[in-house]
Amino acid sequence: MKKEKLLELYRMMLLIRRFEERTAQMYGLQKIGGFCHLYIGQEAVAVGTVAALRDDDYFIAAYRDHGHILAKGGDPKAVMAELFGKAGGVSKGKGGSMHLFDVAKGFYGGHGIVAGQIPVATGMAFAAKYRGEDRVTVCSMGEGTVHQGAFHESLNLASLWKLPVIYLIENNRYGMGTPLERASAVWDLSQKACSYDMARATVDGMDVLKVHEVMAEAVERARKLSEPSLIEARTYRFRGHSMSDPVHSHYRTKDEVEEQKTHDPLLKFQSYLLEKKYINEDQIKAYEDEIKTIVKESVDFAENSPEPALEAIYEDVYVE
């Protein structure tokens, strides 16, 4: 990968990190309501994945979706405004944290029901193949999802009909407070692909370049051969399941979280870039300043965006 592209990845990971930190602050100030799931710790997965995609490829995610929409090119201002429940939000204030959409950028949500996005992703890939397009669909999900029927029904359909879709399990180890080993009969989640004779891989989700490499292969398989893949990215969330949940309590220890933070994907990639001399401390500072401004402008935009008009309640229920 060229230096410019590497720096783009770094910049996007930094944007997501700082955006999410600011989101947490805004949640604390009650500017943001509802359930709000932060992506801090998992940035390498979405960023490495999108780096392997074309702009016109489809991406669909679960409810921990702030990082995905930003990585796919969504406007931070409109994303923050959506979190604030404002008319200027990506979903006009009617979706919220869990339902971010940017169809022009190929981002189709933002799904709040565990596994609900998986059959939908399968249908998007079906449509691309039906029309003879070489578009690829990526469907992100948490590891808690793989026990749902929708996951298994979808994988079977995708393999049976050779659909150009990549199912991406972002294994952050915990489905809310339940660790993988208390929920899954198998540890290696990509094994699930074997039941459906599907290509599979497991990747270090804390390493953006490794994620990119594995995803690029899967994208090639989908685009050239119209074949699906199941990719497990092993990652970790540094915050609670949602903003209402503790970072650690009964289900994991503070020591565990601190140990995991030594694998911080942003710092790890930053060290790599420093080591390669692709970047220096001054440039890091410059990126930080730029991102700080973007995030501040996002909050200002969200603050100043009007609340949705009450008439909007009955808008967009149906296509008239």
Partner 1 sequence: MAEITFREALNQAMAEEMERDANVFLMGEEVGYYQGAYKVSQGLLERFGPKRVIDTPIAELGFAGLGIGAAQVGLRPIIEFMTWNFSILAMDQIVNNAAKLRYMSGGALKIPVVFRGASGAAHQLGAQHSQSLEAWYCNVPGLIVMAPSTPKDAKGMLKSAIRDDNPVIFIESEVAYGYKGEVPEGEYLVPIGVGDVKRTGKDVTIIAWSKMIHVALEAANMLAQEGIEAEVIDPRTLRPLDEQLLLTSIEKTNRCVIVEEGWPYAGVGAEISHRIYQNAFDHLDAPILRVTSEDVPMPYAKNLEQAVIPSAPKVAAAAKKVLYI
Residue ranges in contact with partner 1 by CB under 8 A: 58, 89-95, 99, 101-103, 108-113, 116, 118-128, 130-131, 149-150, 153-154, 156-157, 160, 315-319
Q: How far is the CB of 219 from partner 1 (least distance, A)?
A: 18
Minimum CB distance to partner 1 smaller for 64 or for 92: 92
Query: Which lies closer to partner 1 via its Cβ, residue 1 or residue 160?
Result: 160
- Smallest distance from the beta carbon of 268 to partner 1, in angstroms? 35
Nearest approach, Cβ of 100 to partner 1 (angstroms)? 9
Q: Which residues contact 188 (CB under 8 A, 6 or more apart)?
A: 202, 232
Q: Which is nearer to partner 1, 121 or 214 (CB)?
A: 121
What distance in Å separates the CA atoms of residue 268 and residue 3, rounded to the nearest whole number? 16
CA proximity to 205, closest of 232, 241, 166, 175: 232
Measure Cα distances from 160 to 76, 122, 151, 197, 265 in Å. 39, 12, 14, 9, 36
Question: What's the closest the beta carbon of residue 45 comes to partner 1, in angstroms?
Answer: 22
Q: Which is nearer to partner 1, 40 or 100 (CB)?
A: 100
CA distance 221 to 237: 29
| Least distance from partner 1 to the Cβ atom of residue 313, Å | 10
Taking the complex as a whole, the smallest distance from the CB of residue 182 to partner 1 amounts, in Å, to 24
Helices and strands: H and E segment counts in the chain: 11, 8
Phi, psi angle pair for 199, to nearest 5°: -65, 145
Measured from the CB atom, the residue of 13 and 121 that comes closer to partner 1 is 121
Helix (H) or strand (E) run with residue 209 in it: helix 208-225
Q: What SS3 class is residue 291?
A: helix
Q: Which residue has the tokens 């016109």?
A: 56
Residue with tokens 């609670």: 240
Residue 25 CB, nearest approach to partner 1 (Å): 25
Q: Is 129 left (phi over 0), alpha (psi -120 to 50) or beta?
A: alpha
